[in-house]
Structure 1
Amino acid sequence: MFTIEHDFDATIVTLVDEGAPRQEELREDIVITAFEDCITLRQFNPQRNDDVVITLSLVQLRDLGAALNLPEGSYRLTPKGQTP
């Protein structure tokens, strides 16, 4: 399950772990906040009693999206019509 909210300066997506068959424990919610120049991922860590925050640039996010659909290897994405 997930929710989407639009704030003044960001879009916020929350991913909720609803579990899977035979999954022993649920993971904490992940809150993804999309700003104009970056994306943050935030998840509560119960062992530290604190949030863990990861910030990705928009280029890193683009690369992550591409990486999910590519086989193992090393890649560099370039805009169409531009040589690497």
Structure 2
Amino acid sequence: MHFIAWIVIGGILGWLASIVMRTNEQQGLFLNVVVGIIGAVLGGFILAPMIGTGTINDGDYSLASLGVSLVGAVVLLAIVNLLRRGRVR
């Protein structure tokens, strides 16, 4: 059950991050899930130790962990945009 929740919440967070970064038209469902999950890993390495919370990858579905995962996904999309286009957007 944890795996299904991880995929669904990762997809939602990836979709929200793509809306924030205005790349929603370029991404499909699969890429939204990938961005959400990898963004949660990135947020887990950078932000979670500073805030003292987990991420969706840890099975923590609190508001703080969802926020950390969302910020990680937005940062991931900003890095991808910077590398592909030479600007964040």
Using structure 1 for the length normalisation, give the TM-score: 0.31
Please state which structure has a larger fraction of its residues in strand. Answer: 1
Return the index of the structure with the highest Cα Rg: 1
Please state which structure has a larger fraction of its residues in helix. Answer: 2
Which fold has the larger relative contact order, with Cα–Cα distance below 8 Å and residues 6 or more apart in sequence? 2
